[in-house]
């Protein structure tokens, strides 16, 4: 599932519309926040579209990247859909500066995102201090 502000903001259009939909075991769901002339696809934000698609959590992992508010809202949607915290994965690389454990800018409690992550499950994030 992929969302962007508008059709013009979508990247990898050839892959999204011509290549990935024909790949085995792959379904592609694209939405834009604002429609435009010629766009006949979904219009709306990712979290409600995620719930509308109603993916089963069985044998699945959800990997989230994007703006923090979108990630937060998608985590809530996935929880409503029955995904366990261990099945939800995201990345915190936006907190990183040096990326090699030297500057200390990426610490969350006792963790350094650049060393201990930057990819964490929601279950792991739940163990970190509330600053998230
Ligand atoms: S980014 Fe500098 S310590 Fe993690």
Average pLDDT rounded to a whole number, residues 55-64: 96
Portion of the chain with pLDDT greater than 90, in percent: 91
Report which ligand 1 atom has the smallest distance to the Cα of 113: 4
CA separation for the pair 84, 16 (Å, rounded): 28
Q: pTM for this one?
A: 0.87
Rounded-to-integer distance, Cα 96 and Cα 115, Å: 10
Q: Is the CB of 112 under 6 A from ligand 1?
A: yes
pLDDT (0 to 100) of residue 106: 95
C-beta of 109 in contact with ligand 1 (< 6 A): no
pLDDT at 98 over 80: yes
Segment holding 120, helix H or strand E: strand 119-121
Determine whether the shortest distance from the Cβ of 94 to ligand 1 is under 6 A. no
Confidence of residue 1 (pLDDT cuts 50, 70, 90): very high
pLDDT level of residue 127 (50, 70, 90 thresholds)? very high
- Of 110, 114, 118, the one to substitute when testing ligand 1's pocket (max ligand atoms within 8 A of C-beta) is 114
3-state secondary structure of 104: coil
Q: Above 90 in pLDDT, residue 52?
A: yes
- pLDDT at residue 64 tops 90: yes
Chain mean pLDDT for the chain: 94
Predicted confidence (pLDDT) at residue 132 exceeds the cutoff of 60:
no
Residue 47: name the closest of 28, 34, 33, 36 by CA: 33
Find, among 131, 126, 30, the residue nearest to 75 by Cα: 126
pLDDT at 130: 78
Q: Taking residues 89-115, report their average pLDDT.
A: 94
Examine the pLDDT at 71 and tell me if it is beyond 70: yes
Predicted confidence at residue 88, as pLDDT, reads 98
């Amino acid at each position: 599932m992929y969302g962007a502000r508008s059709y013009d903001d979508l990247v990898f259009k050839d892959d999204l519309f011509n290549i990935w939909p024909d790949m085995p075991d792959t379904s592609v769901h694209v939405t834009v926040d604002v429609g435009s002339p010629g766009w006949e696809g979904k219009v709306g934000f990712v979290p409600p579209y995620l719930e509308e698609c109603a993916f089963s959590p069985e044998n699945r992992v959800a990997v989230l990247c994007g703006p923090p508010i979108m990630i937060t809202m998608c985590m809530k949607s996935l929880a409503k859909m029955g995904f366990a915290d261990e099945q939800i994965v995201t990345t915190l690389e936006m907190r990183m500066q040096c990326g090699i454990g030297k500057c200390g800018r990426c610490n969350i409690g006792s963790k350094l995102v650049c060393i201990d992550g930057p990819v964490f499950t929601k279950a792991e994030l739940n163990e970190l201090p509330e600053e998230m």
